[in-house]
Amino acid sequence: MSLDLHLKQQGLLPETRDKYAQILQQAGEDPVGWLRGKVHPRTPIGTVLPLRAAVKHFLVFEGYDPAEVDKMLPKAKGRPCGLRDSLTVEQLALYYVTVDKQGDPVKTILKLLPRTGLRISEACGLERSNLVRQSGVPGLRFRGKRDEERFVPLNKAAQTALKRYMDLYEPGRWLFQGNSGGPISPEAVRKVCRKMREATPALGELTPHVMRHTFATMALRNGADLRTVQALLGHKSIQTTARYLHPDAGILKGAVDNLE
């Protein structure tokens, strides 16, 4: 069995498997020693965690017991990650105007991201069969991170964007097909985001992942509780979900006003 197949069986997405392969290539013949050299209090913890995870997966693949591996590897210490901002209401309105100037299928993907909270890899990998109705509710049912099944409802704006796209392009197996005939790559969407933020600096540090944060914040603004947002985002830990929520001044004022 190859390492990639092992990682696939663990439910890791292709993008994550590629990232871990790149990390292990850098680690060389002594991945544990290499990792020790990377762990430092001044290094962002968000940088350390993927390195440690890649090395751990490799050692388990090599036959080590997972509990033994945890003792072998250095603890993931580092500088806490800063909060990644979501778009404000004003920025989001500007975002949709800018998205409308882009070409498909990227345009439709970018319209869906802040309305579904999907990871960019999940959105790009959608198949037509993922479009379903669950208890009469239209939405997307698919396998995301860790190969766990998730259902995300589609609001009216998302349904409208998808219907327009499907009427125009009549997709086959892959909802958003790339030039190679397979699904469009996440990098193709990131490239458009880079061009958008260069052309429109008011959008800030725009990335597909920022739109996932924006979805979570807007869900909070509209009254969703933390557990619901966790289910929509597909997070295993509610602590992870909490890092996605960015209460803005309007949300904070509303919470205080409700105390009166």
Q: Where in the sequence numbering do the catalytic residues fall? A: 119, 145, 209, 212, 235, 244
DSSP conformational letter for 127: B
Neighbours of 256 (CB within 10 A): 8
Please provide the size of the chain in residues.
260
Q: How far apart are CA 19 and CA 28, in angstroms?
A: 15
Neighbours of 127 (CB within 10 A): 15
Give, in order, the Cα–Cα distances in Å from 197 to each of 90, 117, 177, 192, 206.
15, 20, 24, 9, 6
Q: In this structure, which amino acid lies at residue 53?
A: A
Strand partners, 141: 151
Which stretch of DSSP H or E encloses residue 218? helix 208-221
Q: How far apart are CA 37 and CA 51, in angstroms?
A: 11
Residue 251's nearest CA partner among 212, 232, 224 is: 224
Q: Where are the beta strands (DSSP E) in 46-160?
A: 131-134, 137-143, 149-153
In the structure encoding, which two tokens stand for residue 186, read together? 């996440």
Q: Where are the beta strands (DSSP E) in 100-224?
A: 131-134, 137-143, 149-153
